[in-house]
Amino acid sequence: MQDWNVVISVREGGYSAARELLRQFAEVSRTHYFNVLAAKADDPRALLDTLTELSMTIPDIPAFLARVVPLTSTFNFDSPEHFEEQAREAVLQWISRLAGKSFHVRVHRRGFKQELPSPKEEQMLAATLLEAMEKTGTPGRIAFDDPDAIIAVETIDNRAGLSLWSRDDLSRYPLLGLD
- Could you tell me the pTM of the whole model? 0.94
User: How far, in Å, are 11, 54, 61, 171 from residue 57 at the CA level?
Assistant: 19, 5, 9, 18
Per-residue pLDDT of 8-53, as tens digits, reads: 999 999 999 999 999 999 999 999 999 999 999 999 999 999 999 9
| Yes or no: domain 73-165 corresponds to CATH 3.40.190.10 | no
Residue-level pLDDT at 33:
95
Query: In whole numbers, what is the pLDDT of the chain averaged over residues?
Result: 95
How many whole angstroms separate alpha carbon 151 and alpha carbon 159?
17
Per-residue pLDDT of 59-85, as tens digits, reads: 899 999 999 999 999 999 999 999 999
Q: Are 48 and 27 in contact (CB under 8 A)?
A: no
How many whole angstroms separate alpha carbon 170 and alpha carbon 175?
9
How many whole angstroms separate alpha carbon 143 and alpha carbon 179?
12
List, in order, residues 6 or more apart from 81 with CB less than 8 Å away.
none
